[in-house]
Amino acid sequence: MARWFETVTDLADERQRAVARGRRYGVIETVDGRLRRIVFRPWPSLAGPFDLPWGQLMHRAVVGNRCWLYFNQPRGLEQFLSLKFVMSSRQTTLATFRGALAVLDEIAHIKRTEAIVCDAANWRISDRLLTRWGWQSHKPQRWHRNYIKRFQA
């Protein structure tokens, strides 16, 4: 019987890769540019109106170079991962954020997904930067900046 919560710390380990392959919802935590852990959960992350104040509070309160990246693999759309929400501390560096994205890419590789999708709600993340990192504009909408990062089959 699968546990409700499972933690993975090393994606090079085949057992932990199997856990990552079989779980749909998780939080990637990076500290000082390196993976600290991935906590797999039994329910999806729902980015909603309460996440912004929570994220701002955590950004001010948490000390250190830390980043949390919430992702889902929607039921019925197993070929995609969805980057739902990113939370960081005030001292988070670009390297720590990039480390979390690299772990998400590795999870996508392990799961053999076709793409990762996200809604880039923070306007400080430029279209140019996302393009440089391999993301493409996808299904433009008036109040949303939807992006997709495709992988080779």
Question: What pLDDT digit, counting tens, does each position of 12-27 carry?
Answer: 999 999 999 999 999 9
Whether domain 6-150 has CATH 4.10.860: the reply is no
> What is the pLDDT of the chain when averaged over all its residues?
87
State the pLDDT at residue 54: 63
**Which range, of 63-67, 80-84, 140-144, averages the lowest pLDDT?**
140-144
Beta bridge partners of 17: none
Helix (H, G, I), strand (E, B) or coil at 84: strand
Mean pLDDT along residues 118-138: 82
Taking the domains of the chain in order of start, what are their residue ranges? 6-150
Q: Which has more pLDDT, 38 or 90? A: 38
